[in-house]
Structure 1
Amino acid sequence: MRNLLKYLLLHIVCFGGFFSLSAGENAPHEDKYNIQDEIIYSFHTSMGFDYLTKEESDMIPTDSILDYLEASKQYKTYFELERVIIKSFLFRGEIRFAIAQSEQMYSKASVWSDHLGMALALNAMGEVYSYTGRIKEAGDTYAQALELFDRLHGEDIHIRMLLVELVEYNLRIRNYAQAARFMTRLNRYPAERLSVQEQAVRHIFNAYCQLLNGSIKIARQHLDEVEPLREELVPGILQHLLIADALYWEKKGEYEKALEAYDTFFHTDYAKINSSLYKETMMNKANLLVKMGRKEEAYVQYGAVFSYIKSSFEKNYPKEIDQLTIHFQADQLTYQNEQDRLFSYRFYLGGIIICTLALFLFLYFSWKKIFRLKESKRSQECMIQKAERAIKKKNMFLSNMSHEVRTPLNAIVGFSAVLSSDDDSFDEDSRKEFCEIIKVNSFQLLKLINDILDFSDFENDNITFNIRPYDAVKLCKEVVETVSASRKLEVELRFDTELSDLVMDTDDARLRQVLINLLVNATKFTKEGSIVLKLEMSDRNTAFFSVTDTGCGIPLEKQELIFERFEKLNDFAQGSGLGLSICKLIVTYMKGRLWVDSNYTQGARFCFTHPLKFQSKMEDTAL
């Protein structure tokens, strides 16, 4: 820690030998207080980035000081010093010592029932998990530590340090929303209450968050605030400043400056003090070299990253970490069992009346459990039926896909082979016809893939709509022209409407997709007669679309089923069975309704409504 070596040397000169502290009895208590207070103070004011170097650790008899603090029951100082020691082990890459020390710290806090000690121990364990790649355990332990700190009073410094760790942890796992939430809480502390180091850390991590949020200008403002403080910053904070500066230039697109900032970081004496950060920065530089097109240098850099990981974290300490996790869970279970035992004793001492009440409660809960078991069994049966239906539909889908994909592919491959052959027996007209067949089958295959992707997007709630005002009359005319031009029709295809124009809020691409799908379906099953797309007003706020054909029609029992995924009216007709299902999802999203007109018997008629004004889900909720 900065100035700590000078402080220690001064004590050696003044007291004629510092290491008498290890004896534990002859050394003045004031020296112990001063040493540990100096260590803890430096750690706090630097937000945990100023740590004990190897040289300082060798000079300071921390074991002797901890024994003295434990004997004198100065538990608060004991746990705060333990916290510094564990963080120092982690920064220096001495992971095994950090694991052992954090396990010891947690055990003693549990035995002494010290809430601050428990919170600090959980904080330290969260860091150990984070450094060793146990992301889930780190998140759970950090959350428990913050919950405990929030219950305590006068521990703002520990909360601020933990918030910084939480921001860094969430940025590392790319949970930017959580990082922003913790950063917002950290920003609430007034600047006058913070040390110079704390202010610098807050500005740097604000810059990180803004850069990842795309706010480059605001990030630059935060970094400029840190520049005047540069000379006062400890190496651990300077590390983050250099990396944030490199990320800024990279986000701005000035890769040479970013590379120069990374190189400046790697040439510092303190580049490797945080092994985890050093590894991440090596990877960032390699990725930057790839962006710059300097692939050979990038490969060399990736090799350096691999070598560093292999040499520093080859074993990854799984055994020690698992022991720490098991010990933590065992303590939690012991505590819970103790609470349950006390709860039982209180009931026992309550007397006969409470026992009688407990009996009634037992009977009530038993009856309720039986009822729940029946409900659970019924739910399981429903789930089994759904699973069977899902498997059936999956098998049907795979069967359909194997046919639907193979058919156009066979045509494409076959006619491509003919065209690429040296056979001169085919004239120019034949070759044009072959090209047209390849084109038609390519479009068929593309539509099939697009249907599958669209349905997948709807299933995963990943679909996007571009809502804007659009003339529905114009769109319908364009759709009819598109279908007429793209297909050789043997029937009349026309658009009927009494409206000159009709402006509505819609996604014209999605509405076009619905109409084309309905018209193309009609062409498949209509061999003579006509296909009519009609647009009219259902009421003053709703448009009414219909596609009417004179084809074979749809049996009444299948009129609802055809909107289900993978359902087809004719198993031998081309198509994935997803088109109508996708149409219904689009219309439903636009707050409309799609159905088959069961009263029309001359063929098939598909109808759907579309509101003129679109309301989002948030607007619906507000209403």
Structure 2
Amino acid sequence: MRNLLKYLVLHIVCFGCVFPLSAGEDSLAEVERATIQDEVISAFHNSMGFDYLTKEESSAINLDSILNYLESTKQYNTYFELERILIKSYLFRGEIRLAIDWSEQMYSKASALSHALGTALALNAISEVYSYTGRNQEAGSAHVQALEMFDQMSGEGIHVRMLLLELVEHNLRIRNFTEAAYFMTRLNRFPADSLSEQEQAVRHVFNAYCQLFKGSVKTARQHLDEVEHLREKLIPGIMQHFLIAEAMYWERIGEYEKSLTTYDAFLHTDYAEINSSLYKEVLQDKADLLVKMGRKEEAYKQYGLVFSYIKSSFEKNYPKEIDQLTTRFQADRLTYQNERDRLFSYRFYLGGIIVCTLVLFLFLYLSWKKIFRLQESKHSQEVMIRKAERAIQKKNMFLSNMSHEVRTPLNAIVGFSAVLASDDDSFDEESRKEFCEIIKVNSFQLLKLINDILDFSDFENDNITFNIRPYDAVKLCREASETVSASRKLEVELRYDTELSELMIDTDDARLRQVLINLLVNATKFTKEGSIVLKLELSDPNTAFFSVTDTGCGIPLEKQGLIFERFEKLNDFAQGSGLGLSICQLIVTYMRGRIWVDSNYTQGARFCFTHPLKYKSKEEDAV
């Protein structure tokens, strides 16, 4: 973004420094930030994605702070637009690893927010990352998926045009000329007066590409002539493609010297290596042209330049491509030497023997590997069969339990509802209130059963959502114990012990409350005398420790290892789905905690679990 840096320098001089990007900045700084955001996005759109941010420009505008501010203020449209530009800039600058990390992060965030534009832009960015890393099949799929999403949105014409251009380039690269022509036709439907000069120029250049691959060199020349009067205004990214298209044109009409001169003109520009992938292709095309011209000595040196460039610039990012290019380079060198000195023809025979030997070893290796895979597959099938049998048993047990658990409260609800609805006057008002209470209790029991099943299904399908925010664990524990005390007729003492006055943790208060209430309700089911104690303390400065201790019947040691399994019940005749503790474990595990039964406690049962004070996502844990 060539003019952006000058624009920034002017504002830095005027204001003394780059303005701080924080929530408390004044309205003037907000206007300056908004202006720069618009400048960056507008420049990117007007160039059809061929303009980008240099490292100096990213530092000058303090892009990280801008993104943080936009996210904190929920300006997600602008946030995802800038992330898209940042990823494209990483690709142009050859920082492929950063582009991969940011595109994955962008897609995850957009999906979590169900943000349509953000998801489409993320898919667009991912497709470009695939293209730059040579994964053409995945790139094509991501491109098409992004286009389908943009087509479903209104007012996103610029994104559709940019994506259509990328699809044309992608299909030309993989020699799928039919698809390239289809997407080019779509791009040509946009009226010229709605396009910027840069957009018009790049559309003519890519029309020329398509016509050259189709063999229509005359039409291609017409498109290139349309760009000539804009030549001085072209940004480097578009100028690259113009020079390459012109070189291809001269080559198609047999003007090899002019083609070679144009390739050299491109390779000697300051911006030749802006698009590292394109630069490598031009080096390769020039080498192929030298071979076509019969200048094999120069071609050999050019292939060496291609090899050296990829070896020095892309070794960390393209290991597979380097291996392939090394093989090709060595084969080209061997062919050249054989043509130069045919006296060494015996090397072909030696090469044949080596190849046959390698093929034999490869055949033996593949045969051994196939046998090994068959054995491994057989073992995997046996394991899966055992798992399936166990799953069927669990399912049958679950269905049996559910038929009983659902029928019992339903019978009570239906029976007592029928009594209340009847005209029988033999029941007094007190009895009717008792019947209503029974209906209420059984309704709550049925609702909890259904909620447990739905919660477990959401966890199984990875469809659960958590609302993580700071919350006082001391207050939450007190509310959970009061809820259980008020909702159940307890025959034992239920108390809450803690020495903490306040303990702020990052959690989903509803989910943590669900765990605590589940553990307390379980304790009330199996404790007929004594007490139930909910305790909160710190196990270390960064971790909260919760425990629910009762003086009930306890849990046999042989069942303590299975108690958190789905559909497992301590007492098969007690009410419940057998999912409550499984759900507790899933919630605690999601919050990066651990839950267990204290096997050292023998006066009843004690359930313990930990919860970190600061929540870290899976991505943060991986870092």
TM-score (norm 2): 0.50
Does residue 21 (structure 1) correspond to residue 20 (structure 2)? The answer is yes
**What's 1:94 paired with?**
95
What is the 5 A alignment of 1:224-243?
A: 224-243=225-244
Cα deviation, residue 54, structure 1 = 2.1
**Secondary structure in structure 2 of the residue aligned to 1:238:** helix
What is the 5 A alignment of 1:193-204?
A: 193-204=194-205
**What's 2:12 paired with?**
12
Q: How many angstroms apart in 2 are the aligned matches of 1:280 and 1:77?
A: 34
Amino acid at match of 1:8: L
8 Å Cα contact 1:250/1:258 also seen in 2: yes
Cα deviation, residue 310, structure 1 = 1.4
Which piece of structure 1 moves more, 54-63 or 162-171?
54-63
**What's 1:290 paired with?**
291
What is the 5 A alignment of 1:89-128?
A: 89-128=90-129
Cα deviation, residue 57, structure 1 = 1.7
Q: How many angstroms apart in 1 are the aligned matches of 2:319 and 2:163?
A: 25
**Secondary structure in structure 2 of the residue aligned to 1:316:** coil
Cα deviation, residue 55, structure 1 = 1.8
8 Å Cα contact 1:53/1:88 also seen in 2: yes
Change in Cα spacing, 1:266 to 1:181, as seen in structure 2 (3 Å) is same
- Which runs of 5 or more structure 2 residues have no equivalent in the other structure? 321-405, 411-623
Cα deviation, residue 125, structure 1 = 0.2
8 Å Cα contact 2:22/2:69 also seen in 1: no
**What's 1:507 paired with?**
none
**What's 1:44 paired with?**
45
Runs (4 or more) in structure 1 with deviation over 3 Å come to 22-25
Does residue 2 (structure 1) correspond to residue 16 (structure 2)? The answer is no
Q: How many angstroms apart in 1 are the aligned matches of 2:281 and 2:11?
A: 39
8 Å Cα contact 1:116/1:149 also seen in 2: yes
What is the 5 A alignment of 1:141-540?
A: 141-316=142-317
Q: How many angstroms apart in 1 are the aligned matches of 2:275 and 2:283?
A: 12
Cα deviation, residue 318, structure 1 = 7.9
Cα deviation, residue 22, structure 1 = 4.5
Q: How many angstroms apart in 1 are the aligned matches of 2:14 and 2:93?
A: 30
**Secondary structure in structure 1 of the residue aligned to 2:172:** helix
Cα deviation, residue 58, structure 1 = 2.2
CA RMSD of aligned residues (A): 1.6
Q: How many angstroms apart in 1 are the aligned matches of 2:219 and 2:20?
A: 50
8 Å Cα contact 1:246/1:258 also seen in 2: yes
TM-score (norm 1): 0.50
Q: How many angstroms apart in 2 are the aligned matches of 1:32 and 1:109?
A: 23
Cα deviation, residue 317, structure 1 = 6.0
Which piece of structure 1 moves more, 129-138 or 27-36?
27-36
Q: How many angstroms apart in 2 are the aligned matches of 1:25 and 1:173?
A: 51
Q: How many angstroms apart in 1 are the aligned matches of 2:300 and 2:214?
A: 29
What is the 5 A alignment of 1:69-84?
A: 69-84=70-85
Amino acid at match of 1:311: S
Q: How many angstroms apart in 1 are the aligned matches of 2:248 and 2:55?
A: 30
Cα deviation, residue 47, structure 1 = 0.2
**Secondary structure in structure 2 of the residue aligned to 1:21:** coil
Superposed CA deviations along residues 426-477 of structure 1, whole A, max 9, x for unmatched, are xxxxxxxxxxxxxxxxxxxxxxxxxxxxxxxxxxxxxxxxxxxxxxxxxxxx
Amino acid at match of 1:26: E
**Secondary structure in structure 1 of the residue aligned to 2:230:** helix
8 Å Cα contact 2:97/2:317 also seen in 1: no
Q: How many angstroms apart in 2 are the aligned matches of 1:115 and 1:219?
A: 37
Amino acid at match of 1:314: E
8 Å Cα contact 1:24/1:64 also seen in 2: no
Amino acid at match of 2:278: L
Cα deviation, residue 136, structure 1 = 1.1
Cα deviation, residue 26, structure 1 = 2.8
Amino acid at match of 1:265: F
Q: How many angstroms apart in 2 are the aligned matches of 1:315 and 1:136?
A: 22
Cα deviation, residue 11, structure 1 = 1.1
Amino acid at match of 2:251: E
8 Å Cα contact 1:44/1:157 also seen in 2: yes
Amino acid at match of 1:148: M
Count of residues in correspondence between the two structures: 320
Superposed CA deviations along residues 545-590 of structure 1, whole A, max 9, x for unmatched, are xxxxxxxxxxxxxxxxxxxxxxxxxxxxxxxxxxxxxxxxxxxxxx
**What's 2:35 paired with?**
34
8 Å Cα contact 2:204/2:226 also seen in 1: yes
Superposed CA deviations along residues 36-84 of structure 1, whole A, max 9, x for unmatched, are 1100000000000011112212212111000111111111111111111
Superposed CA deviations along residues 92-127 of structure 1, whole A, max 9, x for unmatched, are 101011111111111110111100000000000000
Cα deviation, residue 313, structure 1 = 1.8
Q: How many angstroms apart in 2 are the aligned matches of 1:155 and 1:274?
A: 26
Amino acid at match of 2:218: K
Identity of aligned residues (%): 71
Amino acid at match of 2:311: K
Cα deviation, residue 239, structure 1 = 0.3
Cα deviation, residue 8, structure 1 = 0.2
8 Å Cα contact 1:91/1:275 also seen in 2: yes
8 Å Cα contact 1:96/1:317 also seen in 2: no
Q: How many angstroms apart in 2 are the aligned matches of 1:24 and 1:243?
A: 47
Q: How many angstroms apart in 1 are the aligned matches of 2:116 and 2:313?
A: 35
Superposed CA deviations along residues 228-249 of structure 1, whole A, max 9, x for unmatched, are 0011110000000000000000
Cα deviation, residue 34, structure 1 = 0.7
Amino acid at match of 1:25: G
8 Å Cα contact 1:21/1:65 also seen in 2: no
- Which runs of 5 or more structure 1 residues have no equivalent in the other structure? 320-347, 352-623
Amino acid at match of 1:291: K
Cα deviation, residue 23, structure 1 = 4.7
Amino acid at match of 2:156: E
**What's 1:361 paired with?**
none
Q: How many angstroms apart in 2 are the aligned matches of 1:66 and 1:316?
A: 26
Amino acid at match of 2:4: L
8 Å Cα contact 2:21/2:69 also seen in 1: no
**Secondary structure in structure 2 of the residue aligned to 1:40:** helix
Amino acid at match of 1:37: D
Q: How many angstroms apart in 1 are the aligned matches of 2:136 and 2:296?
A: 31
Q: How many angstroms apart in 1 are the aligned matches of 2:172 and 2:95?
A: 24
